[in-house]
Structures are given as structure tokens and as C-alpha cells.
Amino acid sequence: MGVFCQENGKLIWHNNGETLQLEAWGANSLRVRAVAMGEILDTDFALLPAEGPAAQVEIAEDQSQATVTNGKIRAVLTQNPWTRECHIQYYNQKDEIILEEASDGNALCIEARQFRPHVGGDYFLSAKFAPAEGERLYGMGQYQQEYLDIAGCTFELAHRNSQASVPFLLSSRGYGFFWHNPAIGRASFNRNLMEWTSDSTKQLDYWITAGDTPAEIICAYTGATGRPPMMPEYGMGFWQCKLRYWNQEQLLEVAREYKRRGLPIDVIVCDFFHWPHLGDFCFEPEFFPDPKAMVDELKSMGIELMVSVWPQIGHDSVNYKEMRDNGYLMRTEGGLDITMQVGGDSTFYDVTNPRARQYVWEKCKENYYQYGIRIFWLDEAEPELTCYDFEHYRYYMGSSQQVGNIYPQRYAKGFYDGMTAEGQDKVLNLVRCAWAGSQRYGALVWSGDIYSTWTDFRRQIRAGLQMGICGIPWWTTDIGGFTGGVPADPAFRELLVRWFQWGTFCPVMRLHGDRRPSEPVKHADGSPAFGSGSDNEVWVFGDDNYEILKKYMFLREEMRPYIRTLMEEAHEKGSPVIRTMFYGFPEDKECWNREDQYLFGADLLVAPVLEPGATTREVYLPAGAQWTNLHDGKCYEGGQAVTVDAPIDVIPVFARDGKLQNLIRKI
């Protein structure tokens, strides 16, 4: 038989080489760790140090059972006298089971916690739990699919361009579950089995909390993994971007035109390949001869400049040899040290190495920050590998299979640490991926190189809501999609207008895309440079549409005081900026069924138009509130579905209980 014991409020069980440990980790929460043939490891991949009193531990005299209780959550551990395994069940304060490990299947002898060794190395890990009939599941980060309820889905625990794996799960049964492991793996939520796996790891490590509402659960999770800083004021307005403004005068002239037209704009973006070589971390002098003058002129117009940084180091970069020799680069397990081939052979820098992070920051400080640039676009943050053969790469912290998913979090941390060391208290950087904890480093995540299609548009609604559930409240998309948009095409113009309307009610409103046809770019000597896409400013999509887009830019400005309160809530409580319907109205059963409308903070309900040619839209208005249509001022009692007009210049938006009266008839 195994042996239970307690040490300083921790419940520990030993048997046959396995050590299992449960302890309080924040209010109503437990951290669960297990190792095979070793000691429990104190990893801090994402979880912050625990606060609060120790858990209450009780062990039966015959060692057959033990319990550990922390506020609203209680774990019951029961030993099987035949198999010598220890089975875990989790209860809430109402004595209801919220989650339990899968059974051994009697004669099947299935292990709920299985450490399968790699010969000569660590373990493949599997953790199995019993599914519950009718349970709804949410979260897991950003995946490109049209599901909000992810029960029945399987997920690759890995990052890719437009995929951000954040392994936090919110259940309709009243618990939150965080897989505290950055290893490559898989999560499956099937009718017959819920299973988490890691391809290579040293220990099992997860965190679980119980709560009465989704808001309480997300608040506990963000308390355990961190919350964002307060968003700076320039993050709340309109951002202009395209692939790509390829020289200084072109970028400045676009900014000047926005000002000549009297349009509100907070940020303009200098995209990739403004550098001589990948990894040089500086402006190309031929195209950007006076960066300080550029930044100064923009600031005089009240516009911040955001500059793209890629983590790839080109083999022709001035920094490559020094970084290679100092061990600041990712390694391949065999063959050439090439991890991507865009603009030449390159290798990603190793963000898990603190000295490498400091080195890159110092280069960016010297060549960007000193000019007054205070926002960075941390692109390629997955990282985007030419071949997603994760077993082929190695970091300072370990193999990619064991730690690869931590890359975007440490990438954001490197710039956050550098900027705060310079005295900047409100850090905001755009990052193309995230893992748990990224939010505390000022990461604004966007959904990657998605296509300019209605299908992709619909997917982003779900993706943004899932990210908010996973503790990433700063999130955005390329308005209009990144790839495939033709500004002169009427069909694309309709999509862009609908996307732009929705972007007005996103955490950050940012227009970006690689528009067609492309524009070739050459150096003065005639040699080719990286090209540029077509124009992507609000006035290039037709005169009628320009008036619509302008209306929503000014509406965003009108909402700035409200948006500021939402950012304060995100900073103080970890509250999502865009929220699922059930987050605000968990007692309304219909709100758990509505996946294509959402809450923008507590007081606005937004129902984007998601089909081409549509001029009406059905909207469900939650019970327990009165709702005012901001388009026509008409009021409705909650608890009903209504069909409202949605011509091309209107997105259906409703204000709750007489709030935000200044917005009525502004849509």
C-alpha cells in the first residue's frame, strides 16, 4: 500500500516510486504535482508564488483515504487496495463532484496518471479524467475553428502561426483547470475520456480551482498566473498598419493625411524588413535615414510609432556570429542550424536564455528605444518554424518537446523587463502568440496571418472570446484579414466594413493586411528589396465605405472613457475585455448557447454581422436586464431573441439598463 503524509499543509502520497503532492495555491485552488522516481520540482513556468493559508489535510487512520481542502475546493484521494493506485476526486463546497480522475477500468488496469519512459530520458505523460454528461468546456487559447463550446474537441498543445495554445479550461460544472506544462502534447475532451498528454516531461503539474461563476474562476486563474499592466492611453484608439510602409517618407505621409482629414489615430506601424538583414535590429539607412526625426514628427501629431521586431537571426546578420558563439540561438538536434527560411537562412534566438534576452533588448534599446519608440511588434512569436518538427529543436531550458510552448511568454518578458528597467510603467507590445502568463508582460496578442474570408472572420469571434477566458484580455486581429484582400473588390470591401465595425468593439482596433496587388521595391542600385502590399488606409475602399469607417473611428473615440474602465478591470481583476454571454449572465441558460455574439465589458452587447449580403441580424438579449438598441434607441426587455435591422453601415449593439446614453444613434 502507498503512504499518505502531510508536510506544512501539503498532502503527499508515496507508492512504488511515484510521489504525488497536493497543496493550496491561491483562494479555492489546489496545485497538483506528481513525479516518478524523483523529487517534486519547483517549476515556475507560469504560476506565481502561492499566497494565503495552507490547506486543511485529513488522513484516515488506516491510510485508505485522505482529503485536502482549500475554501470551496476539496480533493479526496482514495487508495485501491488491489492495484495500489491512488484515485483523486474534486468536490465543490456543495459537496458536488466537479472533476475526477478516470477509473482504472477494473480488469483493464488503466493508470489515470501514467509516466511512460523514453529510453535513457524523461517521460511521456498522460493524465486521464472522467468526462461528465452535458458538461460544457471553454478556453484552451486561440485555435482557428468555429466552436466556443469545445467539449468533444481535440487540441494540439503547440503553437503555430495563428494558433496559440494556452492550456486553461473553464467548465460549466464550476471549475477551472490549468495544465502547467509547456511541453508539446495533446488535450482531448471526448465523451468517453478527457486526457492531457505531454510528449516529454519530468513531472505532472496542474492547477485546479472551484468557483460559483465564470468570473470568479477567471479571477482566480489570473490571480495565479498574472494580470496585465494598465493599458497606456495610446492603446485604446485606432491603429493604422499595412504590409508594409517601406520608407520613412511614405509612413510619415500616411500619418499626415490622417491628420489632414481630421481622423483620430493613436498608433502607426513600421512593419517587417525595414532592416538591412534579419537580426540586425535596426533601420535600413537607405529607406529610413533619420529615425529620430520620424519619431519626433509623429509624436508632434500625437501618434506613437510601433516597430516590428523578428526573433530570427539571419546568417548574414552582423549579430549572427556573436550570438551563435555565445549560445544565444536555438539549436537543431542534427544537420544545419536553420530554423526558418524567409528572406534567407536564419535561426531563432533562444528566448529561454536570460542572457540572450538581455542581448537582444540592448540592441533594440540602442537602435529603436533611444529614438522614443515605446511599442514593439514582437512578430513570429510561436516561433514560426519552417518545419514544425518540434523534436528537432533545443533551447537553453531544454528540448523543444519539453519547453517549446513557453517561447512567446519569454519573448514578451525580454522586452517587458528591458522597458520597465528604463522606467516605463505601462508596457504594451503586440505579440503574435501567447502562453499562460504572457499577459503579465504587457502582451497584446493578435490572431496571426489569417485569410480575408468570411469563414476566418467568424472564427476570430470565438478565438478572441477563448483568449479572454484564458487570461489574455488584450487581443486583436488584422481588420479585414491578413491575406487575400483586394481593396478595389466590392466583395472584399463588404467584408472589410463588417470586420472594421467589429474591430471597433475589440480590445484594440487595428487595421492591417497584405493587400493585393503587391508593389515591388528596389534599392537605389536596382537590387530588389522586400516588397509591399497595396494601400490599406480607410480612404482606399470607396467613398461610401470611407464615410462608414470614419463613423466607427469617431465612435471608438466616443467610447474611450468606457474602454478605459474595461482596461482597469483587466488590470485589477483579470476580467476579459470581450466576454462570452454566459460570463455576464451565467444563470441564463440561453447565454451558454450563444456563440456569435458577446459582451464588450459589462454594459454593451455586440452582435457582428457575419454573413455576406446580410441586412438583418437575430440577437438574444439576456434576462434580468433592459437593452437599448444603439442604432435606433428602441428598448427591449431581456429574456428574448429579436431580429433587428443591420444595413451595411450598422452593427447591432445594445446598451444595458440605460448605460452609455451618449452612444445612442451614433451607430
Q: Among all residues, which ones are annotated catalytic?
A: 379, 382, 449
**Residues 182, 435: contact at Cβ < 8 Å?**
yes
- The one-letter amino acid code at 191 reads R
Q: Which residues contact 103 (CB under 8 A, 6 or more apart)?
A: 87, 110, 112, 130
What's the residue count for the chain?
Answer: 667
Cell of 214: 465564470
**Residues 395, 353: contact at Cβ < 8 Å?**
yes
Cell of 57: 489535510
- Could you tell me how far CA 387 lies from the centroid of its own chain? 23
| Residue among 419, 355, 337, 415 at smallest CA distance from 381 | 415
Cell of 667: 451607430
What are φ and ψ of residue 609, in 5° steps? -85, 120
Instruction: Kindly state the helix (H) or strand (E) to which residue 445 belongs, with its residue range.
Output: strand 443-446
* Helix (H/G/I), strand (E/B), else coil: 40: coil
CA distance 538 to 650: 17
| Residue among 562, 516, 552 at smallest CA distance from 535 | 516
Number of Cβ within 10 Å of residue 249's Cβ equals: 12
Number of Cβ within 10 Å of residue 488's Cβ equals: 13
For the chain, how many helices (H) and strands (E)? Answer: 12, 42
Beta bridge partners of 208: 30, 177
